[in-house]
Structure 1
């Protein structure tokens, strides 16, 4: 009827409270053959393909994350690639069940399918943590031929790369930080695909998504919604801590405090619903339709809208505005030429070794002083890091290794709580050009400042020279700040249980 009166499909917006309702609306439109654009599905994080990409990034960032690896190899991306190698979905399922007790399932995959590992995983596995985030992801896209195998998801893939580029422009280039950021629900603009202009389709979205927008015709669907839907839970912020209460109206009547909390929650709920209604009811430029069902015990939204006082009127006339002109289509071209990246095969970039080193550094960061029993302090630090990172490192072996390291004569003295001593951990210092240097541990005493750099792994001659230059630079920076104190530098090798000392 709206089309007959001259409205085009893009002039029409259908609004609902919840994403669930948006899905229902789009299914109705689809059954009726009405083209639509669902604004609630523009967040690329809701796309299955993006979930598989994030799972892959989770895996190469933390190879001990078996769940992410399994999610990826069971997904569409890997299934399409491995089909070229003669590997079926059933074989992958059998492999997973057969190796379900493996501590790190990717190692079993390496043994059973070395050709597929070398073709699809090996290079990316070695480069993780050494390439900029954008370069790493584009190399992954090329390796798994995403733009070729998923041409229908071109918008999702392009927006993923744009999101990474914009994330890097904010000053962060860490794979771990990007994964964490992708889980946040805050800044949706980074993840939303742009709505194409000139598409002859109805707009469908939640009322929240419609903020700031306007449409000639708005249909607000309130079917099944109510302001009296109950309070699922009440969060209380008390001096003793945060409490979570689940109460209903009958329970609230039995206690004055609960009744007050429940009444405040009901008011907040009603105010939020009214605010949402206000947004929905102010999006229409020319016409608005509210669809609701009157029930015996439910008055919403009829108690807010004077339907009986304003019966339906004749539809206003509207001149035909002509067909929607679609812009000319432009095909995107994606080449699959990889960037040549030099990787020293003899260096054998060991990702697990790198992660172990990061874990050791995190534990040492969590220890300011060792005043009492060292093993107990160390255990608390290890448990704290395990909780923060969710990693599955063998804690007993790590505690034994670090306990021995911290007991060394040249190390323990810098963890004692002496009078007037100040300790800076993982602190960044800037030189005159603005370059930042993060120092593992800086111990500031009255007459001396000692900078400590912790290292794991083997001490090769090349690495030793590099470490010496690094600690010397740290010492020079500290001398500019603490001009009247002696400056000392220590390169401490955790695995080798030895130290190299330098002075300035």
Structure 2
């Protein structure tokens, strides 16, 4: 039976999915020449991309060196069997295919899905009516902050908008909250970047501000009517009780009459009114105090009916109030989005979060989307890794492209293929649009978008962890999987946790319970686990501490650092933790306001270092800081203000001797300054504003070969493994959320044409009718699954040892709490017959010493800080050529620098203006020389022999590095791709020289070695007259 070309691999943690992906990829690559050009492999992180590329290239390299089958890698032997090749044939073929990939590396398409989507949009920008040179924005928060600021700035200008903002601020004051509504608008604005809200937000596109205002007034009116009816029923009920002749003292604790009296007093919160057993007692007839008998059947029936009637009205009023609370921010969402679009248009920017929406909109209702026509001909084989993290929109965007290959055939009658790998148990990015259900539906054949039936395969063995850890996880997750309310989730969790062990015998699991939940108690237990691991022979760098919440990571990092344990965490890698960076930020503030005491104190505090008389030093110089900095450090504030920010910071680094050696925090900060300068120019205030927004996230990359304990969130650990894993704070509430929202369908006839509105998710939603109950239950089940998935990822990272530190949190009757992680661990121990409330530690397996891998000491070289700044005034270009330069050599050198700097930012003719403006802003070009340089470059780009190489539709690469096999690097000025050939252009100033031709030939030879046909080799001499020479 012929195998399906559509294969789905269910790959649990550590089951060798990268091996399986590499094997399938290599089978295609080895089957025919240059077949790798027809493959697109997609994964989700740059780390995974690099790992897969390395695995493929390393495999081919090792295959090409095989001399004896006894020494051959297992993958070599499997492919030899599958491809029916001799050892020699496979070895020679591997060598040939490796050479093909390396010589055509640009066609080696292993990519993140975001990078692939970006490439599609960039390629078809013109067809999609986008700017050719849009800038990709990764951080939407900065744009949102600016958009919200613009909305707020319009208060007082737009009457409708002003009224909404004022009413919103007053409502917050009435609720004893801050009148500052910026935070609320920023929070609601984040819905715009969340793909899961895209479909819902589309429903409001045509709504105007006046539509929302009308709905607000309408809902206020409905709430008023509802409250009147509630008060009427409550008053009527109390009258009924009074008329019945039953004394109020006859009711237990007078709960029944007090219930209706609370309502008359304006207490309408369902949580307050129905957080008791009153309804249950009324249904059971337990109305009067014990010993007083029962009231008449008619009274019991009537009072129950009135109770339920007012309850229905209370929840209906609660539903309306819930809508109203969320309606004001939602009203402004369209306004925020309009401002956001305007900002992006002005800055020629496009957010990465919009990529999928743009493609989705374009391919919708198109049988053969034009943007895929060319791509569809290019790719025939698709690999998708971590499919459970693929969002619904991303998958729907890929379906037409994959279907074209999967359901069609080439000239030889061969169809394409799809190799899809995922694990529903590791779907932990629902907030980003990834759904476990999407993978489940494909794997179980419930929903297949292709005409080709898929084959589902299990990868049964765990190659990562030692036996005891695998057995513990199998037993634990099969046990607690039964608590999932959704039968589908329950079934796959039980079936997916039957992993086979490998030949890694041993392994150790320790489950600890604290009697009181305190940061110090968790810290002591973590420290104990670290010390035990070190005694067993592990190193600090073998240990990783996983936390669910960032604040727990901060607490543990501080605790361990106090105990002198080397630690690396996301917080310790933040740029803001560097005193040097903080000092530079203080200098930027000082450049804006030189007499701010707090800023000046910070500068002097840093400069005082470890002086004994620190306070005297600060007090002495606090009032004359500008003079002190100028005299002692040649940091003249007035001169500095005339420089670009980048130059100013590099000057500071030099004069204050901040870079005795290369400093990762410092270099990353300078990258940040450069990026900000590119976007906002030399505006110090913009730099500070962006720093305030991003300082909590800007960080350096963690070193690969760390010799410190790592502390990271569970989300960041996905895809990683560690010899020893410690999981503290394992007592999370499964249902804990921060201000969760739901999209609630509503009747458009009752809500002025709106068919869906935003509400806050809370317990009372269950009483918002059948739809509310169903929505709440669905979200409840998803929270269960997401929490268990997160726990699964945490517990499957360990190779040799796993420490779980939880809390002994029980019900009053001693039973476990299923809504907490601690309850899941206690249930597991109970069901195994191991639980004893007096025992706080449970061990499984034995801690074995690790197989010590060789530690590479290597050479530690101190790399000096490389200054781009020059201690001189920015050179200026005189418009009179005869007076420009002192020597011919300087003419060529300095003119070349300016022209090269500008031209590297020119892709087509229309980019010249922006490139010149950037050069002017950065101080590369003076205002007096602007016109001369502009006219010269217009002549260059418009030259009859060069004009075609600067058209809008061409693909060009400016100053892109070429790495040669001998390690040297070539950097051609401009390479233009036209059809199947390229043209190389090199810019020169000054006199002609034979060495220029040699240089151009070296560029051409390099590209020819890569398989390109070089059509034109051009030297463009940029002097008073433009001379173009074809070689």
TM-score (norm 2): 0.28
User: 1:40, 1:209 within 8 Å by CA — same for their partners in 2?
Assistant: no
Q: Cα 1:40–1:429, aligned 2, differ >3 Å: closer, same or farther?
A: closer
In 2, distance between residues paired with 1:322 and 1:223?
A: 31
Match of 1:436 among 913, 926, 942: 913
Kindly indicate whether the alpha-carbon contact (under 8 Å) linking 1:218 and 1:284 is maintained by their aligned counterparts in 2: yes
> What is the match of residue 274 of structure 1?
788
Q: Secondary structure at the match of 1:156?
A: helix
Counterpart CA distance in 1 for 2:597 and 2:740 is 35
1:44 aligns with 2:594: no
| Partners of 2:651 and 2:869 within 8 A in 1 | yes
Q: Could you tell me which residue of structure 2 aligns to residue 138 of structure 1?
A: 650
- 1:197 maps to 705
Cα deviation 1:209-244 (Å, max 9, x = unaligned): 32332111211113442223354353769999x998
Matched, 1:74 2:581: no
| Aligned pairs (5 A) from 1:307-346 | 307-309=829-831, 312-318=843-849, 321=852, 326-331=857-862, 333=864, 339-342=870-873
User: What is the Cα deviation at residue 317 of structure 1?
Assistant: 3.0
Deviation at 1:321, TM superposition (A): 2.0
Q: Secondary structure, in 3 states, of the residue corresponding to 1:313?
A: strand
Higher-Rg member (1/2)? 2
- Distance in 2, matches of 1:322 and 1:472, equals 64
Match of 1:364 in 2: none
The whole-number CA distance in structure 2 between the counterparts of 1:84 and 1:288 is 43
> Does the 8 Å CA contact 2:546/2:714 hold for their aligned counterparts?
yes
Find the counterpart in structure 1 of residue 250 from structure 2: none
CA–CA distance in structure 2, aligned partners of residues 37 and 229 of structure 1 = 28
Q: What residue in structure 1 maps to residue 549 of structure 2? A: 18
Instruction: Please list, as runs of the form range in 1=range in 2, the aligned pairs for 1:163-182 lying within 5 A after superposition.
Output: 167=675, 174-176=681-683, 182=691
Q: Is 1:301 the counterpart of 2:821 in the alignment? A: yes
Query: Residues 226-245 of structure 1: matches in 2 within 5 Å?
Result: 226-229=733-736, 231-234=738-741
- Contact residue 55 and residue 71 of structure 1 kept, 8 A: no
SS in 2 for 1:7: coil
Query: Which residue is equivalent to 2:116?
Result: none
CA distance in structure 1 between the partners assigned to 2:668 and 2:933 by the alignment: 39
Match of 2:630 in 1: 118
For structure 1, the 5+ residue unaligned runs are: 97-108, 345-427, 441-461, 481-504
Contact 1:235–1:244 (8 Å) recurs in 2: yes
Question: For the Cα contact (< 8 Å) 1:44–1:156, is it kept in 2?
Answer: yes
Task: State whether residues 584 and 652 of structure 2, in contact with CA within 8 Å, keep that contact through their aligned partners in structure 1.
Answer: no
3-state SS of the aligned residue for 2:552?
A: helix
Which ranges of structure 2 fall in alignment gaps of 5 or more residues? 1-531, 746-752, 812-816, 835-842, 876-904, 918-925, 944-1031
Residue pairs, 1:405-420, within 5 angstroms: none
Which structure ranks higher in relative contact order (CA pairs < 8 Å, sequence separation ≥ 6)? 1
Q: Which has the higher helix share?
A: 2
Please say if residues 147 and 334 of structure 1, whose CA atoms lie closer than 8 Å, have aligned partners that are also in contact: yes
The question of whether the paired residues in 2 share the 8 Å contact of 1:26 and 1:36 is answered with yes
1:288 alignment counterpart:
802
In structure 2, the CA distance between the partners of 1:145 and 1:59, relative to structure 1 (3 Å rule), is: same
Query: What's the offset of the Cα at 1:15?
Result: 0.9
Q: Per-residue displacement from partner, 1:151-201 (whole Å, max 9, x unpaired)?
A: 9x9443244345556x49x9758455765665566996x7324427362x3
| Structure 2 match to 1:385 | none
Cα distance in structure 1, aligned partners of 2:652 and 2:604: 12
Judging changes above 3 Å, is the alpha-carbon distance between structure 1 residues 286 and 253 closer, same or farther for their aligned structure 2 residues? same
Q: Cα distance, 1:10 vs. partner? A: 1.9
Following superposition, the deviation at residue 203 of structure 1 comes to 2.2
Deviations 1:77-105 (A, max 9, x none): 43243799999768978999xxxxxxxxx
Q: Aligned partners of 2:931, 2:549: CA distance in 1, in Å?
A: 60
